[in-house]
Amino acid sequence: MTDRDDARVRKALQGMDFPASRNDVVAYATDRGEVDEKTLVALGDLPAGDYASVDEVVDAVPQRPGSTADR
């Protein structure tokens, strides 16, 4: 991910309460309705688990979301 991608993830999760699971993160971003498809794909590719903060989410997003190379 680039710094710009990091910023999009942070914006998508602005105001979210943590801790949160991957499913919670994806649902929150989807419900906001203003999140672009690339960011939703990146969030959907997060490893399953719980995240304590938006920083943990940003750190866990795959470098090439949607790529089979990261799976």
Classify residue 70: in a domain, yes or no: no
Give pLDDT, residue 58.
95
71 domain-assigned: no
Residue 40 lies in a domain: yes
Confirm whether 48 is domain-assigned: yes
pTM for the full predicted model: 0.82
Q: pLDDT (tens digit, 0 to 9) for every residue of the chain, 71 residues total?
A: 565 688 999 999 999 999 999 999 999 999 988 899 999 999 999 999 999 999 999 999 987 655 544 43
Per the structure, the count of domains in the chain is 1
Q: How many residues comprise the chain? A: 71
> What is the per-residue pLDDT for 3?
57
Range of the domain at 51: 3-64
Q: Buried (b) or exposed (e) across 6-45, using 16+ Cβ within 10 A? A: bebbeebbeebeeebebeebbebbeeeeebeeebeebbbb
Element spanning 7, H or E:
helix 3-12
pLDDT in the model for residue 33: 86
